[in-house]
Amino acid sequence: MTALDRIVLASASPRRLELLSSLGLQVDVRPSGYDEPDDPLATPLELAIRHAAAKARDIQDFHRDAVVVAADTVVDVDGTALNKPKDAHDAARMLRALSGREHQVHTAFALALPGRDDLVERASSTRVRFYALEDDEIAEYVATGEPMDKAGAYGIQGRAASLVEGIAGDFYTVMGFPLARFVRTLRQLGFTLPTAKKTSNR
């Protein structure tokens, strides 16, 4: 097994940075310039995998000596992908589509490894059910600005927690990075995480 202390994150997401840092990793943030184009012929899950891979490829050549990880989250309503809203009107539209029903959240990640040209790609899916939302409730949430950089126009770890009736699956997949799946993938690839430092009781 190889000790992994440092990883390059091909994303500006503060949530993904927080989650990777919680593993004891030194995280170098190098946001990808990939613009996540829509493709009506691809399923939402295929889109998440494709976007994650493209982000990793975008950064891979600049960090050949490091492990690079990229991720993408897509909200799936009956096979239709909801990405980040374009504006407040679009965010409200998405939230109305999610109101009172179940949807899926797909988060994919792609790993670029030193000495390998191919990527390691994994994905995780979780079902989420929203309460029926009143128009004023949607308007109040949109007014916070929180939906604007989130797939499906909500962040389960923020104010939108009050909109969610329940989930079936991995919470961190909905948050934007399937942490347990990622750790198990690293182990399968022969990597160990940093050992937590012992704290003094004195």
Distances 38 to 11, 46, 81 between C-alpha atoms, Å: 19, 11, 9
Encode burial over 118-139: b for 16+ CB neighbours within 10 A, e otherwise: ebbbbbbbbebebeebeeeebe
Closest among 110, 105, 74 to 172, alpha carbons compared = 105
Closest among 188, 190, 170, 192 to 179, alpha carbons compared = 170
Distances 133 to 30, 43, 100, 101, 188 between C-alpha atoms, Å: 37, 27, 7, 10, 42
Q: Which backbone phi and psi does 105 adopt, to 5 degrees?
A: -120, 125
Catalytic residue among 39, 65, 72, 135: 72
Which pair of tokens denotes residue 144?
């916070």
Per-residue DSSP letter, 140: H
5 is catalytic: no
Alpha-carbon dihedral of residues 35, 93, 159, 20, nearest 10 degrees? -20
**Residues designated as active site:** 72
